[in-house]
Amino acid sequence: MQIELIETFLDLCDSRSFNRTADRLGVTQSTVSGRVRALERALGHRLFTRSRSGTELTTEGLRFAPHARGLLHGWSEARNAVRDPGSGAATMHIGIQHDLVNIHFSELIRDFRAALPDTSFFFEADYSVQMCLDLTTGKEDFAILFAPRYHPDLHFQTLGEITYLMVSTETDRLSDVRRESYILPHFSDALIQIHAALHPRLTGASLSIGQNAAMVELVSTLGGTAYVLRNSAEELVRAGSCRLVADAPPIPQPIYAGIHIRHRHRSAHRRLLSILSARFGPGERSLARRRVG
């Protein structure tokens, strides 16, 4: 059986949209449809029903889904088992939240390589939803993310938190922040909810951004007010391009590690968890909450 059929099936289980799955896999919608039909022929059952309301799994599709995840993981482990023994190296695919790339990233790579010297690491910056999907399908071995999507095959562990601070090119007082020039943060679902509770009058802003680097670029070039990572806020204040909105409460963002349940007790994964907990744990959390002067 072609492994692409399983990958397409599992992606469609998550997206519930042939168009979205085609976009995410970088293929045409007809290719997705063809793969689904081929898998249904091989199994002798329909796996999806399509209607105006969307795409839904059939009873047979629901039954097949956990086996499909097992097949994909088995394939991933089989490829690792038959790698070139002369290379002496395993490969670990790690997803990391976009906003964490500039926080401890070089130190993390250094520590990971020191802890697992015979392992090759492949890092990819992404968003939480895709990383959780990639963990279930076996495309990733480990993820460092903001928003867990709880699943019976996945295990998540809290590592610590980082903090976003409000800066502005216009004012240092929250009461003077204008909704017309405010950029709404969309870094995670949890952060959006916290923000809505703290700043209900700003939730109607016409511009929203989900990545810190893009937020920094926009507030630096267009002006206005926005929440950015603490280290970004410090840099903007030091450069004189922004002021800290001193009475705006910081917004914390928890950080999680995600792994497949099969890997939960493996030595390599436990070592990485230990390194990440040291980097983002209580000591780092107090630094994250430090205010900019």
145-167 tens-digit pLDDT: 999 988 888 999 999 999 999 99
Could you confirm whether domain 3-81 is CATH 2.70.50.30? Answer: no
pTM: 0.68
Cβ atoms of residues 122 and 91 within 8 Å: yes
Cβ atoms of residues 127 and 210 within 8 Å: yes
* Mean predicted confidence (pLDDT) in 103-128: 89
What is the Cα–Cα distance from 96 to 143, expressed in whole angstroms? 6
| Half-sphere exposure for 34 (CA within 13 Å, toward CB) | 8
Residue ranges covered by each domain of the chain: 3-81, 91-293
234-258 tens-digit pLDDT: 999 999 999 999 999 999 999 999 9
What is the Cα–Cα distance from 219 to 83, expressed in whole angstroms? 48
Among the residue ranges 90-94, 126-130, 205-209, 279-283, the one predicted with the least confidence is 279-283
Architecture of domain 91-293: 3-Layer(aba) Sandwich (3.40)
